[in-house]
Structure 1
Amino acid sequence: MSILFYTAVGLISATLGSLVGLGGGIIIVPALVYLGPYFVGEHVSVATAVGTSLAVLIFTALSSTLTFMKQKRIDFKSGMLYFITSGPGAMLGSYTTQFVNAKSFQLSFGIFMLLMAILLVLRDYLRPLKLQWKIQRTYVDGKGDTYEYGYSVLPALVIGLLVGFVSGLFGIGGGSLFVPAMVLLFRYPPHVATATSMFVILLSSMMGSITHLGLGEINFWMVLYLAPTAIIGGWLGAQTASRLSTKKLLWVLRITFVLVALNMIREGLALA
């Protein structure tokens, strides 16, 4: 039963995470915390769930990144700029996890998921800001389509730091914040934002996992069970990203996020 549980969680989280650029950790962490006692046979602490999730994201993001590289969708230049601050931010967030108790984590993670659900709803109605940024980019993807967008160094570094910190703290990868910021603020094409986000997640997840490893907050057996299907899911999500209409999928994610978020907020308040 536990093997089937790990297989399902790894495959679903990685596929959905890669498909819409979320990273998958926002599914892994609640699954381990809430369903662990039933399918794994033991209670999984918040710190262990976060550290394990971030370690698994390395495999998900690696699989996705390699696939997106072949499709020539990743903007490596801007991705490395985000990583300058997202890497240290992920390490700082990972270090902070040890000071967060179960009540505070459930409340904060639940509120975060609720905000993500709202953001997923608003993304259909929001339009990219028409700002003229200092650095202008012209990007040609694997299909030969040309896109123009831009950014400035300081805002990009601030976004990288914020996303990295949240990534390490919650073990979510950060794509749920990266992609909307890149699309709405800097006018990235959505598929380029998703691919570039997964590249940054790969690097920052490595940095954050190093900190969790030093704190003893990674369950290697869980990583071993989750990693194989996470690799498959990362590849599958990246392969179908350009072919599948994500409207119905996004509504499933929105409803799921709201339900899980409300439950985590309720339990967090009950622990008060």
Structure 2
Amino acid sequence: MEYILLLFGGLLAGTIGSLVGLGGGIVIVPLLLGLGAVSILPMSPQIAVGTSMITVVFTGLASTLAYMKLKRVDYKSSLYLFVGSGPGGIAGSWVNRYLNDDSFSLYFGIFIILVAILLTLKHKQKRVEKPKKTGIQRQFTTTEGDIYTYGFHLTVAIPIAFLIGFISGLFGIGGGSLLVPALILLFSFPPHIAIPTSMLIVFLSAIVSAITHITLGNVNWLFALLLIPGAWFGGKLGAYINSKLSSNTIVTILRIVLVIVGIRMIV
């Protein structure tokens, strides 16, 4: 039964993670901890996070390739932000060693709900469509002909990316749960560009975090192999669904998913 849950869990995680740019770990980590609680299989927070990061690599790769075909990935911004998120992922993976079961679940749940609340409050505010003409400037035209101008300062963006990478390595979630709101709220990315761009950053950051967790022995390879096929196809499916939905619908789905998972982890 556990193996069947892992196969379907990987598909669900990949689909949700790709759809709203989370990476999938936000589903996989609670799933693995839940299986550890009801079975004889040992599952510490460290093993759950390390195994999740392996799966997030494949979710990120599958969804990024799908978004590339839709021409929605901002490559330049992704590489700039990876400069911060990569080292942050390594640091978070090392700090993860010091969390026990109870503290991990509590901090993880509170973190997720705070992100959902922040996104709910800020999404109602009007985005800045014309940022100052300094720093990195980007422009995107939607299929409807709407033009979005957005940008960021490296001195602000890289530290934020480091923090997001740190949380990603710490909780095994891919970092998209903070990265997508940051891109949308702080830098005025349109959601249909923020999510694909987030998935590329998640993919790159997950690689370095996964390598770190492998060196620490934090991976259940049997579980990872069962999760990967579903995560791969789910990543492609989520990207396809994303292309069919409006920006407001995507943000609404993101908020609902974050609240549900956060409450579940705290309980």
Is 1:262 aligned to 2:266, yes or no? yes
Q: 1:179 to 1:133 in 2, by over 3 A?
A: farther
Distance of 1:95 and 1:258 partners within structure 2: 23
Q: In structure 1, what is the equivalent of residue 7 of structure 2?
A: 7
Identity among equivalent positions (%) equals 45
Question: How far 1:67 sits from its partner (Å)?
Answer: 0.3
Question: For 1:99-139, what per-residue CA distance to the aligned partner results, in whole angstroms no more than 9, with x for missing partners?
Answer: 22223212211211221332343354233246425122123
> What is the one-letter code of the residue matched to 1:86?
S
Question: How far 1:141 sits from its partner (Å)?
Answer: 6.2
Q: 1:206 to 1:251 in 2, by over 3 A?
A: closer
> Number of matched residues?
262
Q: 1:262 to 1:106 in 2, by over 3 A?
A: closer
Distance of 1:237 and 1:123 partners within structure 2: 25
Question: How far 1:37 sits from its partner (Å)?
Answer: 3.9
Q: In structure 2, what is the equivalent of residue 253 of structure 1?
A: 257
> What is the one-letter code of the residue matched to 1:212?
H
Mapping for residues 43-122 of structure 1, pairs under 5 Å: 43-122=42-121
Q: In structure 2, what is the equivalent of residue 217 of structure 1?
A: 218
Is 1:156 aligned to 2:157, yes or no? yes
> What is the one-letter code of the residue matched to 1:6?
L
Q: 1:143 to 1:210 in 2, by over 3 A?
A: farther
Unaligned runs of 5+ in 1: 264-272
Q: 1:247 to 1:183 in 2, by over 3 A?
A: closer
Q: 1:231 to 1:145 in 2, by over 3 A?
A: farther
> What is the one-letter code of the residue matched to 1:162?
L
Question: How far 1:262 sits from its partner (Å)?
Answer: 3.0
- Residue 110 of structure 2 contacts residue 262 of structure 2 at CA under 8 Å; is this kept in 1? no
Find the residue that maps to 2:106 and give its secondary structure. helix
Is 1:17 aligned to 2:17, yes or no? yes
Q: 1:121 to 1:139 in 2, by over 3 A?
A: closer
Distance of 1:155 and 1:106 partners within structure 2: 30
Q: 1:89 to 1:253 in 2, by over 3 A?
A: same
- Residue 23 of structure 2 contacts residue 173 of structure 2 at CA under 8 Å; is this kept in 1? yes
Distance of 1:207 and 1:72 partners within structure 2: 25
Unaligned runs of 5+ in 2: none
Question: How far 1:27 sits from its partner (Å)?
Answer: 1.2
- Residue 14 of structure 2 contacts residue 232 of structure 2 at CA under 8 Å; is this kept in 1? yes
Question: For 1:226-267, what per-residue CA distance to the aligned partner results, in whole angstroms no more than 9, with x for missing partners?
Answer: 00000010000001102134366346414413431431xxxx
Q: In structure 2, what is the equivalent of residue 267 of structure 1?
A: none
Greater mean alpha carbon deviation, residues 76-85 or residues 239-248: 239-248
Is 1:36 aligned to 2:36, yes or no? yes
- Residue 111 of structure 2 contacts residue 262 of structure 2 at CA under 8 Å; is this kept in 1? no
> What is the one-letter code of the residue matched to 1:58?
V
- Residue 73 of structure 1 contacts residue 141 of structure 1 at CA under 8 Å; is this kept in 2? no
Distance of 1:66 and 1:166 partners within structure 2: 25
Find the residue that maps to 1:246 and give its secondary structure. helix
Question: For 1:47-101, what per-residue CA distance to the aligned partner results, in whole angstroms no more than 9, with x for missing partners?
Answer: 0000110110000000000000111101100100000110011011001111222
Distance of 1:79 and 1:27 partners within structure 2: 24
Distance of 1:247 and 1:191 partners within structure 2: 10
Q: In structure 2, what is the equivalent of residue 202 of structure 1?
A: 203
